[in-house]
Structure 1
Amino acid sequence: MRRETSLIDLIFPGDTNHHGTLFGGAALAHMDKVAFIAATRHAHVDFVTASCERIDFAAPAHLGEIVEVTGRIARVGRRSLTVEVDLVAEALLTGERRLCTRGRFNMVSVDRDAAVPPLEETEPGPATAGVRMVELVFPDQASHNHILFGGHAMAQMGKAAFVAATRHCRRTVVLAASQRLDFTSPVKVGEIMEIEAAVTGTGTSSMQVTVDLWGENLKTGERRKAAEGVFVMVALDADQRPTPVRPL
């Protein structure tokens, strides 16, 4: 099983067209980003998108749903590789998932002297509980010191906590508290932040979600824990009142 790279996001009004579904351009941007991260993780060199093969939009992703974009290396050449990317929508309350879009992105190394390593099959690792999602750090998400702005890191960690809690209870959930949040290492512009979130405790209507944020250097593959926190999410019923959740 080859290593997969997954990006998880929520569909907000700014991402939709007049039909209330995910705008095609936003879907393609997510898919291209995942293709770039997957390619760079494989070879640890800079890539650009050379082309994308036929991309079919088979089903819509609706406002308020989770979108999960997954990329895997399918072919390797001397300076190029191909990444297969799937975009799947997930309904928050039912968990129903459907494949919306699939495509192949051809990436080319900008370093003419760098050879792309061959594709190797690896044994599948242990299943990871909870949510794992990646993002790139762009300049508009950074402080004047060119490191990830703390507020943006907290927003991404809160999003991961929301997805993990929603998947646990399949109810509308809201953030009730952030119990603790520690920043231990900076994440720089151009690096990956990978977030892992899992429900680690439950109350009557509340869920404790532990979230770790890792920084990853695309050129070296070096990873370090950059932040960790604990978020308390509360499940709500149709009348916006706290409602019981299943125990952990």
Structure 2
Amino acid sequence: MVFPGDANHHGTLFGGVGLAHLDKVAFLAASRHARRTVVTAGCERIDFAAPARIGEMVEAVGRVVRTGRTSLGVEVELHAEALLSGERRLCTRGLFNMVALGADQLTLSPPPGIDIPTEADDWLRAADMVFPGTTNHYGTLFGGDALKLMGKAAFVAATRRARKVVVMAATHRIDFSTPIREGDMVETASRVKTTGRSSLTIEVQLWAEDLLNGRRSHSATAEFVMVAVDQSGRPEPLG
């Protein structure tokens, strides 16, 4: 989501924040492909085609388009989506060159037996990295930041279904099963479980993935009740 803290004085996504999103997705795509420690070596021309505005969702998608002996080229696109209308636009596109450290030869595909989710199901998925700023003194993802990620995922899933202004009304039981370590990829998977007259119950799962070996673990599950509201903040029918 584009919140005011990510925007410039024009009310649009600050270019540096957009570049950070692109670089993070390039890192995730390269790490998943190579199963090695990778770093950004450089990026080729990056074009900013359209702005992303405060209140919109941005989606960064990356794919490996070139592999060498120790390097990969990852093409990344950043799209903006107006959550109430569903209108989407391409904002930015770039090519990042990533290098695997200490590797004589890259693994050109994920190791066998690794279960990597596809987009063929009805879950809305989003990935992020666990950096030191979001960890506790044990070196694992702080519970409050985990809840923040899950709440944001519930908001996006509910708004995409309703195409109305939605707010969080309640959370049902939240279960944390396994910790997420610093350096892991964290993935939220959210979907609409039930709908009422003006409310939606969203199921959110939190998964962790070790980028070097592909091992995945289910870390948390929660349910959020989101309610569609009108301009005065009163519940509004979904239909």
Which residue is 2:74 aligned to?
Answer: 83
Superposed counterparts of 1:103-114, under 5 Å = 103-113=94-104
Which residue is 1:149 aligned to?
Answer: 142
Residue type matched to 2:99 in 1? V
Which residue is 1:118 aligned to?
Answer: 108
Residue type matched to 2:3 in 1? F
Q: How many Å apart are 1:233 and its aligned residue?
A: 0.3
Superposed counterparts of 1:40-59, under 5 Å = 40-59=31-50
Q: 5, 10, 14: which is aligned to 2:5?
A: 14
Which residue is 2:199 aligned to?
Answer: 206
Residue type matched to 2:66 in 1? R
Q: Give the gaps of 5 or more residues in structure 2.
A: 111-116
Pair 1:236-2:229 in alignment: yes
What is the TM-score of this pair, normalised by structure 1?
0.91
Offset from partner CA, 1:175-222 (integer Å, 9 cap, x none): 001111000000000001111000010111000000000010011100
Which residue is 2:217 aligned to?
Answer: 224
Q: How many Å apart are 1:245 and its aligned residue?
A: 1.4
- 2:37–2:101 contact (8 Å) kept in structure 1: yes
Q: How many Å apart are 1:119 and its aligned residue?
A: 5.8
User: 3-state SS of the aligned residue for 2:208?
Assistant: strand
Runs ≥4 in structure 1, deviation > 2 angstroms? 117-120
* Shift in CA distance, 20/192, structure 1 to aligned 2, threshold 3 Å: same
**Distance across 1 between alignment mates of 2:119 and 2:169:** 32
Offset from partner CA, 1:10-44 (integer Å, 9 cap, x none): 00111111100000000000000000011001111
What is the TM-score of this pair, normalised by structure 2?
0.94
Offset from partner CA, 1:97-129 (integer Å, 9 cap, x none): 00000011000011143x112369xxx956232
**Distance across 1 between alignment mates of 2:46 and 2:159:** 30
User: 3-state SS of the aligned residue for 1:180?
Assistant: coil
Identity %: 55
Pair 1:23-2:39 in alignment: no
Aligned residues, how many?
Answer: 233
- 2:33–2:108 contact (8 Å) kept in structure 1: no
- 1:74–1:84 contact (8 Å) kept in structure 2: yes
Q: Give the gaps of 5 or more residues in structure 1.
A: 1-9
Q: Cα RMSD between the aligned structures? A: 1.4
Residue type matched to 1:69 in 2? A
Q: How many Å apart are 1:225 and its aligned residue?
A: 0.1
Residue type matched to 1:118 in 2? L
Residue type matched to 1:192 in 2? M
**Distance across 2 between alignment mates of 1:239 and 1:187:** 40
Pair 1:188-2:181 in alignment: yes
Which residue is 2:162 aligned to?
Answer: 169
**Distance across 2 between alignment mates of 1:34 and 1:125:** 16
Offset from partner CA, 1:48-91 (integer Å, 9 cap, x none): 11111110000000011000000011111100001110000000
- 1:75–1:119 contact (8 Å) kept in structure 2: no
* Shift in CA distance, 131/54, structure 1 to aligned 2, threshold 3 Å: same
